[in-house]
Amino acid sequence: MTDVLRRVGMTLGLPIVLFAAWWFASAGSTDFFFPPLSRILDSLVEEWFGPRLAADVLPSLLRLTAGYLVAAVGSVALGVLIGTSRTVRGLLEPVLEFFRAIPPPVLVPIFMLIFGIGDGMKIIVIAFGCMWPILLNTVEGVRAVDSVLSDTARTYGITGAARLRRLVLPSASPQIFAGLRQGLSVAIILMVISELFAAENGLGFAVVQAQRSFAIAETWAGVLMLGLLGFLLALLFRVVENRQLAWYHGLRRAQRSS
């Protein structure tokens, strides 16, 4: 129980201090562009946890989830293939390096021409941008599989799908999850960017619309909503990661204590 309270305190301590400082520093603010935090929080509750929750937040979450899952599944599969085959790596590496160097926001107008301005384009933008950290980490994780374990598996006739399931993926999973964590951060950014172009709803669209109509409290509330969403998604990801990599973290703790 004490350990849980300590972790909660470490996670929430600094945000609470920063919000308290913001609250007292802005309490008497008359600046149009920097309203009191109390007004921003009122707008957050009334708008973002009210009608905008279904109209803007939910569509953004659905696009984010779809793009992220497409990137995760495709990147892990391609990363395993590249990491296990020198031939495939030699063929694809120049092309992948070329596309990796292109910032995803630059491609949004091109994706709009090819895929239109609907949700499909936004999902593709998110998937294209967040696939790179997942792909590269998967390749490095697969290539770093212990050679002794690989030779032992080959000696015992563990090949093909069994080798992939029992050796390659478990060995590479810490690196894969590191890429998935980075990809999630990129996906949130690209979710907002994709909604700035020819969108009818979404967090990015709503924040820009509020800014253009000089609804400053709503704009700040939208920014807070984005930060809260990112925090909750990162927390959820950490729970899943700790559950899936419990064996790895246990091994690390055992090594440190020995």
In a domain, 243, yes or no: no
User: pLDDT band for position 4 (50/70/90)?
Assistant: low
* pLDDT per position as a tens digit, 122-159: 999 999 999 999 999 999 998 888 777 777 778 777 77
Q: How far apart are CA 68 and CA 182, in angstroms?
A: 11
* pLDDT per position as a tens digit, 212-235: 888 888 999 999 999 899 989 998
Q: How far apart are CA 117 and CA 139, in angstroms?
A: 33
Q: How many domains does the chain have?
A: 1
Residues 6+ apart with CB under 8 A from 47: 218, 221
User: What CATH number is given to the structural domain containing 171?
Assistant: 1.10.3720.10
DSSP assignment of 20-40 equals HHHHHHHTT---TTS--HHHH
In a domain, 102, yes or no: yes
Start-to-end CA distance of the chain, whole Å, equals 25
In a domain, 221, yes or no: no
In a domain, 9, yes or no: no
State residue 47's pLDDT score: 83
Range of the domain at 129: 53-202
Task: State yes or no: pLDDT of 1 exceeds 60.
Answer: no
Q: Is the pTM of this model over 0.85?
A: yes
> Nearest-CA neighbor of 142 among 90, 76, 83, 74?
83
* Lookup result for tokens 């929430």: 12
The SS3 call for residue 119 is: helix
In a domain, 244, yes or no: no
In a domain, 62, yes or no: yes
In a domain, 113, yes or no: yes
Q: What is the mean pLDDT of the chain?
A: 85
Q: How far apart are CA 226 and CA 231, in angstroms?
A: 9
Q: How far apart are CA 83 and CA 97, in angstroms?
A: 15
In a domain, 225, yes or no: no
DSSP assignment of 122-157 equals HHHHHHHHHHHHHHHHHHHHHHTS-HHHHHHHHHTT
